[in-house]
Amino acid sequence: MSNRTLTSLVVACALVAAPAFAADYTFKIAHTNAADEVQDMGLQKMKELLEAKTDGAATLEIYPGGQLGDEAQIIEGVMLGSLDMAMTSNSMLSNYVEDFQVFDMPFLFPSIPALGEKVDANSDMMEASANGAGFELLGVFSSGIRHLITSKPINSIDDLAGMKIRTMQNPVHVEAFRAYGANPTPMSYSELYGALQSGVVDGAEGASTGYDGMKFYEVAPSFALVGWLNMTAPVTMQKAAYDALPAEIQTALLESGEEAATWQRQYVVDQEQPLLDSFAAQGVNITHPDTAPFIEASKPLYESQLTTDGQKALYQALTK
């Protein structure tokens, strides 16, 4: 065997024997949105930032599309410590962090930038609420502004009368659509495509990003722009697990989450008009119902649903 051949063999064996690079801290994070949808893109940005801030010592392992369970299951996983992190709709998290129910209220913020400004200004209060429920709040992403996706066109609030509309499993959402005259039907997001296809529900509320990412336009070809909810998607981990981390990893996680959230919220804004244009090109019937009746019907919810001192205090802070 020649020296050159022997040298090549030794190098090859060394490469096979050498362990692959692994970060000191790999955090598994799950969500139920499609891969490369806006929420997932935000987590990819957070992973990039976290690796840069820690010189590769920490990273995220992202599980999209409900691979590790529905939203209730992944939140419970974080609470129990069997899952490192979760990104869920606020509407599911507020079942556990009751102060966050404020973010489920209809027509609270006129735009995503307006929401982001208030979230950033009140981050300490939100962090305290999350901590009180056993969570660490790492960032507040956007799930977009939510509209109506239906099997038949919605031109006014009257068209919703008696329609079975899928909502999240959240009391504010249920009561809102009852106030709009619909028959609210809570169900898991993973079941929605089939429910629309089979006629179990007549429609749902959702954002343009989800309408596109999950291809709901295939089974619900009408999209009514009502903007009833400016939806947040908090990124959380178990507070006890966070507290056990080295200070430098804690700081990197918080900074990465906050910076990724700022980037992601603007990314959602940038996607909105191109998505609407693509829906129109695919033959989706886009309507613009008068939102005034929806807003009027929503007003009683602020009194009936925001009942605790914490909810009222956060609401006042966000709206002053």
pLDDT at site 6? 39
Tell me the pTM. Answer: 0.86
pLDDT tens-digit readout, 187-226: 988 899 999 999 999 999 999 999 998 999 999 999 999 9
- Whether 6 is in a domain gets the answer no
pLDDT tens-digit readout, 234-286: 999 999 999 999 999 999 999 999 999 999 999 999 999 999 999 999 999 99
- Owning domain of residue 65: 19-301
CATH, residue 162: 3.40.190.170
- Whether 222 is in a domain gets the answer yes
- Whether 9 is in a domain gets the answer no
- Whether 189 is in a domain gets the answer yes
pLDDT at site 188? 86
Measuring CA to CA, which residue among 138, 140, 141 is closest to residue 251? 138
Count of alpha carbons within 13 Å of 267, Cβ hemisphere only?
Answer: 20
- Whether 178 is in a domain gets the answer yes
- Whether 7 is in a domain gets the answer no
pLDDT at site 190? 85
pLDDT at site 22? 65
pLDDT at site 189? 86
**What is the token pair recorded at 161?**
């009368």
- Whether 144 is in a domain gets the answer yes
- Whether 131 is in a domain gets the answer yes
Domain count along the chain? 1
With a cut of 50, list the residues of the chain below it in pLDDT.
1-21
Q: How far, in Å, are 107, 142, 166, 169, 265 from residue 314 at the CA level?
A: 16, 19, 28, 22, 21
